Chains A and B, each alone.
Chain A
Amino acid sequence: GNSVTQMEGPVTLSEEAFLTINCTYTATGYPSLFWYVQYPGEGLQLLLKATKADDKGSNKGFEATYRKETTSFHLEKGSVQVSDSAVYFCALNGGFKTIFGAGTRLFVKA
């Protein structure tokens, strides 16, 4: 079946550092891939998405590229801010339901 694996956290960075959160997936067919962000006490928000191979999703300085050859969708940001502290979820949808990774907690220190 479909599955998503993302790097365990927590990830702790200083402000303005470069961020990478790794995500790999297993799926049949051609799923759509997503990153969601969850701030404390809130629901998940869609951060970015990519629907086919080599697509790059981007939003608020975050980027991720759909790599079919490595079955990966790593999240990157060039310069993180304290306000980026949250839990980040990689997810895939192969039709009818979205499967989420376990989440990676990010702490950004001033």
Chain B
Amino acid sequence: DTAVSQTPKYLVTQMGNDKSIKCEQNLGHDTMYWYKQDSKKFLKIMFSYNNKELIINETVPNRFSPKSPDKAHLNLHINSLELGDSAVYFCASSQRSDTGENGYTFGSGTRLTVV
């Protein structure tokens, strides 16, 4: 029973293409996140949704667009992919967004390679 599942695990695509990454959690959590991990392992938050409402939108190019059809799903669509978008993208979820004291549950990541 995977708690936070992301698909696909690997994604290789050409510059200029549009691609989507899907995320689903079966933990009943209210809040979901997208993080980007670069080649040096540095993690940066991109977006957060609480009960389908966008609550965090960091400085991310508008080529990146999150969508949350319900509180168990958070997808990430990327338009006009660039070489610099190559990274590992992690989805995560948590019980509550305001206190943050419960920690996050992460998916296993999607390794995106733009060629």
Nearest A residue to B55, CB-CB: A96
State whether A96 touches B98 (Cβ < 8 A): yes
For the complex formed, measure the closest distance between the CB of B107 and the CB atoms of chain A, giving whole angstroms: 5
State whether A43 touches B100 (Cβ < 8 A): no
For the complex formed, measure the closest distance between the CB of A67 and the CB atoms of chain B, giving whole angstroms: 18
State whether A102 touches B40 (Cβ < 8 A): yes
Query: A32-B101, A49-B101, A93-B100 are contacts. A44–B56 as well, Cβ < 8 Å?
Result: no
State whether B40 touches A96 (Cβ < 8 A): no
State whether B48 touches A34 (Cβ < 8 A): no
Query: A89-B43, A103-B42 are contacts. A46–B104 as well, Cβ < 8 Å?
Result: yes
State whether A97 touches B42 (Cβ < 8 A): no
Total A-B residue contacts, Cβ distance less than 8 Å: 65
Residue of A43, A51, A93, A102 near B106 (CB, 8 A) is: A43
State whether B107 touches A103 (Cβ < 8 A): no
Interface size on A, residues (CB 8 A): 26
State whether A51 touches B90 (Cβ < 8 A): no
State whether B109 touches A43 (Cβ < 8 A): yes
For the complex formed, measure the closest distance between the CB of B55 and the CB atoms of chain A, giving whole angstroms: 6
For the complex formed, measure the closest distance between the CB of A89 and the CB atoms of chain B, giving whole angstroms: 7
State whether A97 touches B99 (Cβ < 8 A): no
State whether A49 touches B103 (Cβ < 8 A): yes
Residues of A within 8 A of B98 (CB): 95-96
B interface list, Cβ under 8 A from A: 4, 33, 40-43, 45, 48, 55-56, 90, 92, 97-101, 103-109
Apart from A36-B103, A42-B109, list 17 A-B contacts with CB within 8 A: A32-B100, A32-B101, A34-B103, A42-B108, A43-B4, A43-B108, A43-B109, A44-B92, A49-B101, A93-B99, A94-B100, A95-B100, A97-B45, A98-B100, A98-B103, A100-B43, A103-B43
Complex A-B: 20 CB contacts under 8 Å:
A32-B100, A38-B41, A42-B108, A42-B109, A43-B4, A43-B107, A43-B109, A44-B43, A44-B90, A45-B106, A46-B103, A51-B101, A96-B55, A96-B97, A96-B100, A97-B33, A97-B48, A97-B100, A102-B42, A103-B42
